[in-house]
Chains A and B, each alone.
Chain A
Amino acid sequence: MTGLPMIWGLGLAAILFVLGLLGVLVRRNILFMLVSLEVMLNAAGLAFVVAGARWGDADGQVMFLIILTVAAAEVAVGLALALQLFRRTGSVDADAAMRLRG
């Protein structure tokens, strides 16, 4: 297979991952944190696809499908938690959940 060298694909995945991570760490709005988490997951998925393309193997795409389902499940749980958080604290600020401090 020819085309873009793998490093480009992996570089993009890494950039996306870091962006997502920064989003999680920096944003306080829990919805944006969830979005950033999605970005990170997808970055990992991209890396799988790129690697699969490089080795001509379908496993990469299989892994991406798994990540998709995991992400869907995670979003479902995450949104439910966000909703509860909003109900109880009246905000979507993640730090408002500090009451859980041990």
Chain B
Amino acid sequence: MVGLLFLVPLLPFLGFLVLLVGGGRLPRRAVEAIGVGSVALSFAVAVLVAIGFAGLEGESYRQTLWRWMATGGFSADIGLWLDPLSLVMMLVVTGVGALILLYSVGFLRGEAGARRYFAAMTLFVASMLVLVLADNLLFLYLGWEGVGLCSYLLIGFWYREPANGAAARKAFLVTRIGDAALLLGLVLIVASLGTLDIPVLQDRAPEAWTAGSTLPVAAAALLLAGAVGKSAQLPLQVWLPDAMAGPSPVSALIHAATMVTAGVYLIARMHGLYALAPAVQTAVAAIGALTLLLAAISALGQSDIKRVLAWSTISQIGYMVMALGAGAWGAAIFHFMTHAFFKALLFLAAGLVILRLHEEHDIRRMGGLAMKLPVSFAGFLAGAASLAALPVVTAGAYSKDLILWQVAASTEGGLLLWLAGAIGAVLTALYIFKAVFLVFFGPMQTAPEPAPASPAMLGPIVVLAVLAVFGGGLAVPAQLAGTLPAPPLAGAPGHPPLAFALVSAALPLLGLAIAWALYVGRRGPLTGLAASRAVARAAPVAAAGFGFDALYERLFVRPWHALARTLRDDPADRPAAGLAGLSLGGYRLLRETQTGRVRWYAASLAGGMAAALALGVLS
């Protein structure tokens, strides 16, 4: 059954092809059926493959489809590679993908462009599967760029609005900067190791390179740049909040559950390389910690519900990246999985709210929706609790506590990283429950449309809510133990001490309590603090995501436009134009001698002759 692996990415791709070629001839129902069906089928095959894989001897399974390119000693295949890591990714991508596509059917009802939407979504799922299943980095890069393209297409789904187009292009461009670095990283690896084959690299890199030397550090740094771009980490995080211009299910699938975590996957996949570049691994941890704090604070400053979730995604990926930096590989992937569940859930629930409120995004104009939209409320609450990592009852708690514990105990980590994670945990609970309280509690501000939601939308929300609550029971880290190295814990491996667990559990509750005091109780000393001048001054900074956009506008965008304006008429054409002008001038000058008077010509003839004779005689 493992042999069916190639069908997993192929099925969504076939769906894409049918939608692309089938033209507008297909009825709406067929378009939806192909879109959802191809991904759901892919999930079914993925489950079969997983079952087959469990019964397989050995740690991995490889399927080579055909030779992609081979020249001058370098070769890359179109080939797939299945190990526990890619297995987890594959199941999450297809499973969550199928749920979100199902939700899309309801979400897009009455909306034009369904074919374009489902075509891009199926292509996305196919590309994402290529990304996680590729057996070499070049094929991985194909998926990597493919998801970027689909992200671009889907952010700009409502293309008539120029702002959406701008957001889409920004997303593609910013991630492409990282991608260019990633490609250079691949080139470096080929140039010095002669291969991009992932399993071969894992073996060859430690043999060919000594830890901490220039080449592995450069390669790891270039790969990190790619990961930073795709996963919206500092300093390339600016595109993700704007990417919320796309439809909510797109945000759920691409900009929360799957694509943005590609960077995490890449680093985890190349863990052997990072072991050779300790300096870069430290940088990974630092980037993660900084990003998670900065994004959590920014999330607190947002009033658009989708932007809250976007910054939250950046922050949560920051957790994963920090975990990677501390060597907690398994914990990072575990958190990726739970995050995929609860963040997709949050986006889907938020999307439902937005839809029913006629495109109202501002949480300050929502309120009191708990009774009106019970499923959305329940879903959002489950997602929020899991995101905040409320202890025991949520999946997020297990993964986040694992990260906090391993980061604190790791020799690569330390107290500073733990502190960042701990502060982040309080902030996470604060911002997400701020959203919960503002949207679903208090007085009603905007009345929702009374139309009943379709089961296609409610079903995925319910399933994801269950996963967000109970998904922590899936023993992912144990599954990955053979694939990813164990975290370099300082003490003996084992469970964290009780005190540690209690502190971890207390952090989100603290955040929840603050949120309650501020947005429901609206009393007490905290309210005064929140109304203080310092907070008022900090709020716009947080709302603007610490001004990175303005900075980049000034540093890159404006000089680029100025350069384009200056060069517009192509200065390299000047010499040619000058030559043309010169000959034109010469022509005008000489034309004057051609008077058309025959006697004038005769006179010049005679004069010239006389002059020539004189010259001959006199000299």
Report A's interface with B, CB cutoff 8 A: 21, 24-26, 28, 33, 94-95, 97-102
- Segment at the A interface, from B96-104, B330-338, B388-396, B595-603: B595-603
Contact check, B591 vs A102: say whether CB atoms are below 8 A apart.
yes
Interface hub of B591, B594, B598, B606 (most chain A Cβ within 10 A):
B598
Contacts of A97 in B (CB 8 A): 596, 598
A102–B596 Cα distance when bound, in Å, is 7
* Complex: A102 Cα to B600 Cα, angstroms: 14
Residue on A with the closest CB to B603? A25
Partner of B602 from the list A25, A95, A99 (CB cut-off 8 Å) is A25
Instruction: List CB contacts (< 8 Å) of B124-143 with chain A.
Output: none
Q: Closest residue to B606 on the A side, CB-wise?
A: A21
A28 and B599 CA atoms in complex are apart in Å by 8
Give the chain A neighbours of B591 by CB distance below 8 A.
Answer: 102
Show the binding face of B for A, using Cβ within 8 Å: 591, 594-599, 602-603, 606
Q: Complex: how many Å from CA A53 to CA B595?
A: 43
Q: Select which of B594, B595, B598 is within 8 A of A94 by beta carbon.
A: B598
- Say which residue of A26, A98, A102 sits within 8 Å of B597 (CB atoms): A98
Bound CA span A102–B595, Å: 8
The interface centre, meaning the residue of A26, A95, A97 with most chain B CB atoms within 10 A of its CB, is A95
4 additional A-B residue pairs with CB within 8 Å, beyond A94-B597, A95-B598, A95-B599:
A21-B606, A24-B599, A94-B599, A101-B594
A30 shortest CB reach to chain B, Å:
8
CA distance A99 to B596 in the complex (A): 7
Other-chain contact of B596, A24, A25, A33, A101 (Cβ < 8 Å) = A101
User: Interface SS of chain B: helix, strand, loop or mixed?
Assistant: helix
Can you list 8 pairs linking A and B with CB atoms under 8 Å apart? Answer: A25-B606, A33-B598, A94-B598, A94-B599, A97-B598, A101-B596, A102-B594, A102-B596
Q: Are B595 and A98 in contact (CB under 8 A)?
A: yes
- A95's partner among B594, B597, B603 (CB-CB below 8 A) is B597
Across the interface, which residues of A come within 8 angstroms of B603, CB to CB?
25
Quote the shortest CB–CB distance from B609 to chain A (angstroms): 10
Least Cβ–Cβ distance between A59 and chain B, in angstroms: 22
Q: How far is the CA of A33 from the CA of B602 in the complex (A)?
A: 11
| Complex-state Cα separation, A24 to B591, whole angstroms | 24
Residues of the B chain whose Cβ atoms lie less than 8 Å from the Cβ of A33: 598-599
A99 CA to B599 CA, complexed, in Å: 14
Which of chain B's residues have a CB closer than 8 A to the CB of A100? Answer: 596
Which residues of B are found within 8 Å of A99, using beta-carbon distances?
596
Distance in Å: Cβ of A90 to nearest Cβ of chain B: 17
**Contacts of A94 on B, CB cut-off 8 Å?**
597-599
How near does chain B come to A64, taking the closest CB pair, in angstroms? 21
Cα-based distance from A23 to B138 in the complex (angstroms): 90
Distance of B595 from chain A, by nearest CB (Å): 6
In the bound complex, CA of A98 to CA of B597 (Å): 6
List A contacts of B596 (CB < 8 A): 97-102
Taking CB as reference atom, which chain A residue is nearest B590? A102
For the complex, give the distance between the alpha carbons of A21 and B602 in Å: 9
B595 with A24: CB separation less than 8 A = no
